[in-house]
Amino acid sequence: MRHISSFFKLFPPPKFLTMPHVGLEISDDAIRCVGYKLTSKGYIISKYARTELPGGMVENGEVKDEGRFAEALSAFAATNKLTYVKVSLPEEKVYLFQTDIPSTDVRAVEQNVEFKLEENVPLATDEAVFYFDILPASITGGALKASVSVVAKAYVEKYISLLRSMNMIPMAFEVVPKSIARATVSEDSDETDMIVHAMDHKTGIYIVAGGVVCFSSTVAWGSRDGGLTEVPASIDVSLLIKEIDRVCSYWATRPDTHSAIAKILIVGRDAVPIQSALRSHADAEKEILTASVADIWHNIFDMDSYVPPIPHDESMEYAVAAGLALPL
């Protein structure tokens, strides 16, 4: 196994984790879910749904109107009969860092990461929960390194309490970039990709090396802010392009980087016209990597034998939930 994830230390024993679950994304813009069912012909989508959230109810992962949010989430859970769920964590609430590790032994890495937490994040060890992925040697140049995601324990515990009050059982939590990578990047990939995650009023830019999230940034440009229409020429992507260029330059100049960014994968709201706008810029300026719309079903379906019921353009909004719903 090239990289290993350790689950947050808040969850029940392994037998519990074998239960079928639904991927539940809670974003600033909407609540979405995707569920899979295993059949004799492979996995199929058993359920999917979304409900839009009013502006200002959730901002940067922080619930601003707890009463109305609880009503919306409770209604969504009841309508879609959600019980076992794997839940998204917004990147704004998560600290991400890389660190050298002594070996690939899971327990040894856990102890090493715990020892280094307070050096890298503004949280005491007993106030934090974390998971890590071991970076592939092809990316690190042979060095043993782990990419670590850390979140405040109080934030996770608050969500656990809320979900349980609605008869949902959270099996695990996962950071948004990790969920998207699990859905869109080949499990055996040894490339480094940039993922552009377009939302209504912000866009996440992530670097994924060998399937492991190594960098996360959020820019205040959203598809609904950008004057987006069906005409690509009308999209002002200058701010987005500036941020993509900045991240590319940062990655290229890191001394511990041994793999250049190969391509850009786009997911989220209006991914198709955003791709067209980026391509138009590339044709005119010759300054941007090849950008393509990601296949969010890449690691779950054989598209030759099963066609998902969600239209392709609409499916881009389900990238996070699609990754969360993958078997644990």
- Residue 210 Cα distances to 14, 139, 214, angstroms: 26, 7, 10
Answer whether residue 3 is part of any domain. no
Closest CA to 141 of 210, 205, 187: 210
Tally of CA atoms within 13 A in the half-sphere of 124 that contains its CB: 3
Answer whether residue 7 is part of any domain. no
Please give the chain's pLDDT, 328 residues, in tens: 334 443 444 444 455 555 789 999 999 999 999 999 998 888 999 999 999 999 899 999 999 999 999 999 999 999 999 999 999 999 999 999 999 999 988 889 999 999 999 999 999 999 999 999 998 887 888 889 999 999 999 999 999 999 999 999 999 999 999 999 999 998 888 889 999 999 988 999 999 998 999 999 998 888 766 545 444 445 677 888 889 989 999 998 988 777 889 999 999 988 888 888 787 766 555 556 788 999 999 999 888 889 999 998 899 999 999 999 998 7
CB 200 within 8 A of CB 224: yes
Kindly compute the dihedral angle of the four CA atoms of residues 312, 316, 321, 325, in this order, to the nearest 10 degrees.
40
Enclosing domain of residue 101: 14-324
CATH of the domain at 192: 3.30.420.380
CB 216 within 8 A of CB 209: no
Number of domains the chain contains: 1
Answer whether residue 4 is part of any domain. no
- For strands 145-152 and 128-134, give the pairing: antiparallel
Answer whether residue 9 is part of any domain. no
The residue with tokens 């034998």 is 305
What's the pLDDT score for residue 4?
40
Looking at this protein, which amino acid is placed at residue 38? L
Answer whether residue 273 is part of any domain. yes
What's the pLDDT score for residue 92?
93
Which structure tokens are listed for 78? 């009841």
Distance between CA atoms of residues 23 and 166, nearest Å: 16
What's the pLDDT score for residue 170?
94
Answer whether residue 172 is part of any domain. yes
What's the pLDDT score for residue 288?
63
Answer whether residue 138 is part of any domain. yes
Answer whether residue 106 is part of any domain. yes
CB 184 within 8 A of CB 195: yes
Distance between CA atoms of residues 44 and 53, nearest Å: 27
Backbone angles phi, psi at 22, to 5 degrees: -115, 140
Which pTM was predicted? 0.90
What's the pLDDT score for residue 258?
76
- Residue 258 Cα distances to 98, 137, 193, angstroms: 14, 9, 13
| Three-class SS state of 227 | coil
What's the pLDDT score for residue 190?
85
CB 306 within 8 A of CB 44: yes
What's the pLDDT score for residue 5?
42
